[in-house]
Amino acid sequence: MVATSSTENAQRGWELAARAGYAVSGVLHILIGVLALRVALGSGGEQADQSGALGTIAATPFGSVVLWFSVVAFLALGAWQVAKAIHGSPSGGGSGGAGERAKAAGRAVVYLALALTALSFARGGGSSSSAQTADATAKLMGAPGGRLLVAALGLAIVAVGAYHVYKGAKKKFLQDLHRLPSGTAGPVVRRLGVVGYVAKGVALAIVGVLFVTAAVQADPSKATGLDGALHTLRDQPAGVVLLVIVALGFVAYGVYSFVRARYGRI
């Protein structure tokens, strides 16, 4: 009986830490939105991506504490997704089909990568995501069939972006929530989810297009990640207006992530 209680308490603690991962993700998306807005208005020198957001946190008085908390939260959420991909939901929500397990595996990679990035900043390091992306693309292109692999990766990212747009436009994200907050908060959450998912999907699609461009032109420097995608969007006709909209969408996604941390299925 005592052992069972201890196991349940440990699982509840793990779930709480995993939910904190969504909250930290919300903070990062809000900061990325703010940085993207500064890019649109021509007043920002920081990268509008995870590195820029983590660098902004690191520069605050309690940045180190927040970063270490982020490492733990992302590790917990990533480990939860690993367990879900292998065994189904650790909380007993069912094993799910192959598609759900594959999605969980993909989310695990994302959150564990975020944990490593946050760890780098927490230890006083950190580097440009754009430069890392370009370097990794160059190495991949140097492998046999590397350009095809980079193009395939780009198309996969475009597909992920398109799925985000679909998930937002069709309000499929509501399936990730146990229930909506009561009162007037419900419609607000719907709007935040729609705007946030669509904006993030557009940005991811542009990231994918840049990978495909890098493969076609055999130029790894074209693959510059999220920051490069947002700068590319800004440089298009009416790009400033579009980037402002996408930036506000990232902020909306960040706020929605706080709701998901409280009400979401993990």
Write the pLDDT tens digit of every residue in 206-264.
999 999 999 999 888 888 889 889 989 999 998 999 999 999 999 999 999 999 999 99
Three-class secondary structure of residue 40 per DSSP: helix
Interatomic CA distance for residues 92 and 193, integer angstroms: 26
Q: Over the stretch 11-37, which tens digit does the pLDDT of each residue have?
A: 889 999 999 999 999 999 999 999 999
**pLDDT band, very low/low/confident/very high, at 141 (cuts 50, 70, 90):** confident
Residue 178 clears pLDDT 90, i.e. is over it: no
Interatomic CA distance for residues 264 and 125, integer angstroms: 33
Tokens 């297009």, located at residue:
209
Please provide the distance, in angstroms rounded to a whole number, between the alpha carbons at the two ends of the chain: 27
Taking the C-alpha atoms of 229, 234, 235 and 240 in order, what is their torsion angle to the nearest 10 degrees? 170
Interatomic CA distance for residues 34 and 18, integer angstroms: 25
Per this entry, what is the length of the chain?
266
Q: Over the stretch 77-124, which tens digit does the pLDDT of each residue have?
A: 999 999 999 887 776 555 567 788 888 999 999 999 999 999 999 988
